[in-house]
């Protein structure tokens, strides 16, 4: 089987699991790979304005289910990752990103002045709502990559936005940490799930993809 066939097989195999098998466990190494793939996600201007929270405490998972429209996946999937966006981007992200980059590249931060100005301009050019939308959009890249990694590993997942954000933020104390929930990813193995055999609904290739010559 070619690599592209196996990638597409994995992406056709994956679906947003509704019912997880609560008895099956994801190997630590695979969870690590999924999280690492999220960490490696690219972001606009390299700002990485997100945090991935792995919720291990069963009592907190139960709280999250209450504010998550009672979605059973929140408690029954073996792992639950909450993807949160930074809310302190305006104050901190420019200096942080420049300092981080300077350290990795082994240069003085002053050498990166044009880069600093690009980030500062991208931040200053957006009002609070636009900035929040921009930051949150970045976090979906990490979500998408983690979903693809799971599928390639043969591990099921379900992305979720079906929750009350204020309730999730309160349950996890996110506001105090300058974070706001964007999405969640339940990770585990499908159980007796009627959705598993439903044909995938997708627009036709030619409707989605247009080659502009």
Ligand X SMILES: Cc1cc2nc3c(=O)[nH]c(=O)nc-3n(C[C@H](O)[C@H](O)[C@H](O)COP(=O)(O)O)c2cc1C
Positions that interact with ligand X (CB under 6 A) = 15-16, 18, 71, 158-162, 183, 200
| Cross-strand partners of 165 | none
| Max Cα-Cα span within the chain | 58
Q: Residue 4 Cβ, how far from ligand X at the closest point, in Å?
A: 19
In the complex with ligand X, which residue's Cβ is closer, 112 or 184?
A: 184
| Alpha helices (runs of H) in the chain, residue ranges in sequence order | 3-13, 28-39, 58-66, 73-76, 89-105, 113-124, 128-152, 165-172, 205-208
Rounded Cα distance, 110 and 98, in Å: 9
Q: Residue 200 Cβ, how far from ligand X at the closest point, in Å?
A: 5
In the complex with ligand X, which residue's Cβ is closer, 51 or 90?
A: 51
**Distance of alpha carbon 122 from the chain centroid:** 22
Taking CB positions, which residue lies at the least distance from ligand X? 162
Rounded Cα distance, 154 and 150, in Å: 6
Q: Residue 162 Cβ, how far from ligand X at the closest point, in Å?
A: 3
Q: Residue 73 Cβ, how far from ligand X at the closest point, in Å?
A: 7
In the complex with ligand X, which residue's Cβ is closer, 162 or 167?
A: 162
In the complex with ligand X, which residue's Cβ is closer, 6 or 69?
A: 69
């Amino acid at each position: 089987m070619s690599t592209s066939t196996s990638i597409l097989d994995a992406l056709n195999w994956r679906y947003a699991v509704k019912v997880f098998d609560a008895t099956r466990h994801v190997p630590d190494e695979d969870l690590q790979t999924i999280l690492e793939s999220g960490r490696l996600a690219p972001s606009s201007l390299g700002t990485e304005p997100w945090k991935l929270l792995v919720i291990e405490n069963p009592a907190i998972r139960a709280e999250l289910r209450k504010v998550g429209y009672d979605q059973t996946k929140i408690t029954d999937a073996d792992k639950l990752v909450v993807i949160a966006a930074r809310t302190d981007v305006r104050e901190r992200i420019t200096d942080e990103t420049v300092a981080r980059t300077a350290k990795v590249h082994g240069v003085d931060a002053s050498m990166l002045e044009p880069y600093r100005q690009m980030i500062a301009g991208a931040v200053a050019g957006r009002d609070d709502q636009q900035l929040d939308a921009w930051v949150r959009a970045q976090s979906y890249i990490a979500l998408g990559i983690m979903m693809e990694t799971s599928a390639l590993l043969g591990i099921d997942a379900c992305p979720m936005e079906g929750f009350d954000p204020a309730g999730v933020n309160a349950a996890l104390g996110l506001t105090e940490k300058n974070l706001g929930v964007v999405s969640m990813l339940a990770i585990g193995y499908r159980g007796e799930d009627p959705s598993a055999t439903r044909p995938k609904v997708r627009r036709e290739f030619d409707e989605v993809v247009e080659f502009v010559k």
